[in-house]
Each structure stands twice: as C-alpha cells, then as structure tokens.
C-alpha cells in the first residue's frame, strides 16, 4: 500500500475540516461585529445576514459532495494500487489465489465489453486491445505479468458500504470481517456503539457512509433539501470517514504483507521463547544473514499480518548489527513489544 495515497487522503479530509473552521470564523464575525461601527465591514455583515439561509445550504452541499468525492476517489485509488502491487508480491501468475485469478479474467472481459459499449467516460482512454494483450501475457508470460488494474475498480458510483465490501471480494478480501478485526477501527466502533459490535447490523455500523451517499445523491439529482446537517454533525461524518479510510488502507497493507510472508519469507519453526514482556523473540536459526533494520512478519492468532522491525540482535549476550549464521544457533531479537507465544513468525532468507 502506497503511503502517499493515505497521506493525500488525510490531507483532503483535513482540508474539509479547515473549510468548516473557515465557515465558523466567518459566521462568528457576523455575530460579533456591530454593523453600525465599521464602514468597511458593514456591507459584508449585511450581505452575510441577508444570505445566511442560502449560504448554509450551499456550504452543506459543497461539503457533502466533497466528502463523497473523497470516498469514491480513494476507494478506487487504493484498489488499483493494491492490484498493481500484486505483480511484485506474487512472482508467478499461476500462484495467484484462485479467486483473484478468476476475477482478473472475468473483470477484464467485462471491462472490454464496457469500453465497446462506450458506457463510462472514465474508461474512454483505455484500449480494448491493450487490455486483451495484458490478459494474454499473464498466461503466456506468467513470470513477468501485469494486471488490468482498472478492471477491479468499482464500475459506478453510489459507493454505499455494502458496495464497497463487494468491490473488495475480487481481491479475496472480506472487508466486512476485516474492518471489525482492525484494531484501531474496532476500538472506534466500540466507542460509538458499545463493546458488542458483532451483533450490530452493517446498516447501523456504517450508517454515516450510507447516509453520506444518500445525501450526495439528493444533491446531485436536485432533490429539495430539508434535512441538512449542522457543522457539528458534519464533523462526526468526517471523523467516521477518516477512520474508515485509514482502516481500509491498513487492511490492504496487511493483505500485501500476507503475500510477502508467503512468497519472500520463511517461517521460523523453532521458537525458544518470548522474553521481556513480549519484546524479545528467541529462536533457532541456521544459514542466514540477519541485520538490524530488517523486518519480521508476524501472523497473529486472528490471522492478521503485521511487520515489526528488528531493533536489536543478540547471541550469548553479545549484540550484533549484522549477524552471519552458518551452524544452528539460538538468536534473540528485539521487536519492540507486542509479540506473544500464539503467533507465527516469518523471517526473510538472506544468503550468508
């Protein structure tokens, strides 16, 4: 997962927060200045008071459309980034998960059909021939393949939560389950709905996302707006969208780490113990090169995948920045905490 896209997402979210702050500052000026005292500001105050109702509606529309635009934009960006990363994380097309393989074929054919029908402006720069060539190369050159990443992006808007969940299924990701397992987002949901979120429906948990879509549609279709949100309520929607987006980006990152562990790391089979309150991993190793700054991949008991940096390496109470191992020895590495005995650990094999 590209960090820059997450940073841009957070920047766009924060820009709307700043816009709301700007609105509040303008409104405060209108409330606190005496229109009879300053000739320069008097026309502004009179206009602000006369335009108050229309101004509030315009600001509401601008914010809702902008928030939905962020949602739609980054869901597509993150899906396409993830798909493009797969050709680097999976060295052989034939080793793709069956679901992803089938989805790539089916969605590529569907994309060719959509281009032929000229149904979507977003695909007007795509070539049917290039899509077919890319698909064919996956079969003829499975060790040097690329994806038709556009085929995986949602075909249309109205991205309610259930549609976003459906968009992740071709990637072999159960977003519904993963969101509830995401540590930070789970804590956030529990702060909103109580501890027992397992028994909450998606409609209630993700109301803010679905309601944002509904409100955007009402604005886009010219429906009379009679239930605008005040600024404090909009801030709650912004916070939910921010947490939701961060969680999705983390879920995609975890999936990429899972592929990395399978294709580029090897499991540490002989664990000697976990020490210093979950900071030190002791294990047996041979024929490998370990360096400070390298990473260990951890598979948690609930099938999440995380990376932890090697902060220290020690053998027989001697510290190393780089450790070349030939014969079997016991090694201790400091991972900074958070490791437990019910986890699995993977290390990158390096030639000695």
Overall average pLDDT of the 215-222 stretch = 92
Residues 198 and 274 in one domain: no
Residue 338 — left, alpha, or beta (φ > 0 → left; ψ -120 to 50 → alpha)?
left
Query: Is 33's pLDDT higher than 60?
Result: no
70 belongs to a structural domain: yes
Question: Is residue 339 in some structural domain?
Answer: yes
Q: Are 251 and 285 found together in one domain?
A: no
| Range of the structural domain that residue 180 is part of | 3-264
Residue 37 is predicted with a pLDDT of 54
Please report whether residue 98 resides in a domain. Answer: yes
Same domain, 132 and 227: yes
What pLDDT is stored for residue 24 in this prediction? 85
Residue 342: pLDDT over 70: yes
Residue at which a domain ends, from 213, 244, 264: 264
Position 350 scores a pLDDT of 86
The packing angle between helices 207-220 and 231-264, to 10°, is 120
- 259 and 272 housed in the same domain: no
The answer on 206 and 128 residing in a single domain is yes
pLDDT, mean of residues 253-265: 97
- On whether both 209 and 282 belong to a single domain, the answer is no
- Same domain membership, residue 124 and residue 27: yes
Give the residue ranges of DSSP H helices in 90-206.
98-117, 128-140, 161-168, 175-181, 183-193, 202-205
CA distance 290 to 309: 12
Residue 228 domain-assigned (yes or no):
yes
Pick from 16-20, 26-30, 260-264: least confident = 26-30
- Tell me if 352 is assigned to some domain: no
Is the pLDDT score of 159 beyond 60?
yes
Is residue 66 assigned to a domain?
A: yes
Q: Where a domain ends, among 214, 248, 264?
A: 264
Asked if residue 336 and residue 260 are part of one domain, the reply reads no
pLDDT at 73 over 60: yes
Q: Which of 264, 295, 328 is the last residue of a domain?
A: 264
- 44-67 exposure pattern, b = at least 16 Cβ within 10 A, e = fewer: ebeebeeeeeebeeebbbebbebb
d(C-alpha 147, C-alpha 124), whole Å: 18
In terms of domains, do 24 and 116 share one? yes
What Å distances lie between residue 144 and 134, 138, 147, CA to CA?
11, 8, 11
pLDDT at residue 155 greater than cutoff 80? no
Residues 89 and 233 in one domain: yes
Helix spans in the chain (H): 3-32, 42-50, 52-89, 98-117, 128-140, 161-168, 175-181, 183-193, 202-205, 207-220, 231-264
- The pLDDT of residue 116 is 86
For 182-203, what is each residue's pLDDT tens digit?
A: 999 999 999 999 888 888 889 9
Residue count of the chain, please give it.
Answer: 352
Domain tally, the chain: 2
Q: Are residues 276 and 338 in the same domain?
A: yes
> Is the distance from CB of 294 to CB of 243 less than 8 angstroms?
no
- Between 55 and 309, name the one with better pLDDT: 309
Q: Look at residue 299 and tell me whether its pLDDT is greater than 80.
A: yes
In the predicted structure, residue 352 carries a pLDDT above the cut 70: no
Q: Give backbone dihedrals phi and psi of 126, rounded to 5 degrees, phi first.
A: -85, 150
Q: Is 51 within 8 Å of 58 (Cβ atoms)?
A: no
Please give the average per-residue pLDDT across 250-275, as a whole number: 96
170 and 196 fall within a common domain: yes
340, pLDDT greater than 70 = yes
Half-sphere exposure of 17 (CA within 13 A, CB side): 14
Q: Is residue 306 part of a domain?
A: yes
The CATH number for 283's domain is: 2.40.30.10
Share of residues in the chain with pLDDT > 90 (%): 75
Q: Does some domain include residue 140?
A: yes
């Amino acid at each position: 997962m590209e960090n820059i896209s997450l940073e841009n997402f957070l920047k766009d979210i924060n820009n709307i927060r700043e816009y709301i702050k700007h609105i509040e500052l303008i409104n405060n000026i209108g409330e606190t200045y005496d229109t009879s005292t300053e000739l320069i500001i008097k026309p502004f105050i009179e206009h602000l008071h006369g335009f108050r109702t229309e101004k509030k509606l315009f600001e509401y529309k601008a914010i809702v459309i902008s928030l939905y635009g962020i949602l739609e934009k980054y869901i597509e960006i993150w899906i396409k980034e993830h798909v493009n990363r797969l050709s680097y994380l999976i060295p052989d097309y034939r080793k793709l998960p069956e679901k992803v393989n089938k989805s790539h074929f089916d969605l590529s054919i569907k994309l060719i059909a959509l281009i032929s029908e000229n149904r979507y402006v977003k695909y007007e720069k795509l070539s049917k021939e290039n899509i077919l060539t890319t698909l064919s190369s996956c079969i003829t050159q499975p060790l040097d393949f690329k994806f038709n990443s556009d085929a995986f992006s949602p075909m249309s808007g109205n991205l309610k939560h259930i549609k976003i969940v459906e968009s992740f299924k071709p990637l072999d990701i159960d977003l519904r389950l993963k969101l509830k397992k995401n540590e930070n987002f789970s804590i956030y949901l529990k702060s909103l709905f109580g501890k027992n979120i397992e028994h909450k429906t998606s409609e209630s948990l993700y109301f803010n996302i679905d309601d944002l879509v509904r409100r955007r549609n009402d604005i886009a279709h010219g429906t009379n707006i009679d239930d605008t949100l005040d600024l404090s309520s909009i801030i709650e929607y912004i916070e939910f969208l921010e947490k939701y987006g961060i969680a999705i980006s983390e879920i995609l990152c975890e999936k990429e780490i899972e592929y990395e562990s399978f294709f580029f790391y090897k499991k540490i089979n002989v664990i000697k113990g976990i020490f210093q309150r979950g900071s030190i991993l002791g294990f047996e190793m041979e024929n490998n090169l370990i360096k400070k700054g390298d990473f260990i991949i951890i598979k948690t008991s609930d099938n999440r995948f995380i990376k932890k940096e090697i902060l220290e390496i020690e053998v027989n109470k001697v510290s190393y920045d780089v450790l070349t191992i030939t014969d079997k020895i016991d090694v201790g590495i400091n991972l900074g905490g958070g490791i437990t005995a019910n986890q699995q650990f993977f290390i990158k094999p390096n030639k000695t």
